[in-house]
Amino acid sequence: MRLFLALPVPDAWAAAADGTLAALPAPLRAELRPIPRAELHVTLRFLGELPASRLSVLEHALARLLPPVDVTIAPGPAALLGPSRRERVLALGATGAGLAELAVRAERAAIAAGLPPTDPPFAGHMTIARVPDGLSAGARRALAAAVSALPPPRAAHARVLAVELMESTGGEPGARYRTVARYG
C-alpha cells in the first residue's frame, strides 16, 4: 500500500489552485496535468509503501500519537517541488498555527510504526498540477520563472480537525486517493 497523511482542504482552496494555474502563461499551463478538485489535499507526511500486514501497527501509532487535531491553515506561495532541476509538481505551500507541531506528531507516529524519518523535513503543500517528465529544459526554466512571479493565492484560512490516512493507487498520471482512516 502506498500511503500518506493529508489534511482535507475547503473549496476555496480549490478555487485558489484554479487561480494559480490560470495566472500561468497558456503555453506553460497546457504542459501541466492539473490535479482534479476531488483529489486536492495538504500533504502532511508521505509514508511510502507499506505491506498491508503492517497497517494495524501504523494505525495504532497514529491513533496514539496524532490527536488532538485542531489547526488553522492558509495557502502559501506557489512553488515547483521535486529533485533539483527535475521538479515533478506545482504546489501551493501550506502554513498555519499548529501545523508544524502536528507534523512533528505525525513524524513521531510514523517512526514509532517503524518507518524511516522524513528527509527532507516537513514542508506542507497542496499539489495542484504535475509536471511531465518529458518537459524540455527550456520549458522548465520558463515554468520556474513564471511560478516565481505568481502572486500569493487568495483563499481563506481553514480550520482542520482531522488528519486522513490516505492510500494512493493507480500511479501517475492517474493516481487516485482513498481515505483509509481519520484521526482527530
User: SS3 sequence, 122-142?
Assistant: CCCEEEEEECCCCCCHHHHHH
Q: Which residue has the higher pLDDT, 3 or 37?
A: 3
pLDDT band at 123 (very low <50, low <70, confident <90, very high): confident
Q: Tens digits of per-residue pLDDT, 31-82?
A: 999 999 888 999 899 899 999 999 999 999 999 999 999 999 999 999 998 8
pTM confidence score: 0.86
pLDDT tens-place string over residues 153-168: 887 788 999 999 999 8
Is pLDDT of 122 > 90? no
Q: What are phi and psi of 133, to 5 degrees?
A: -60, -35
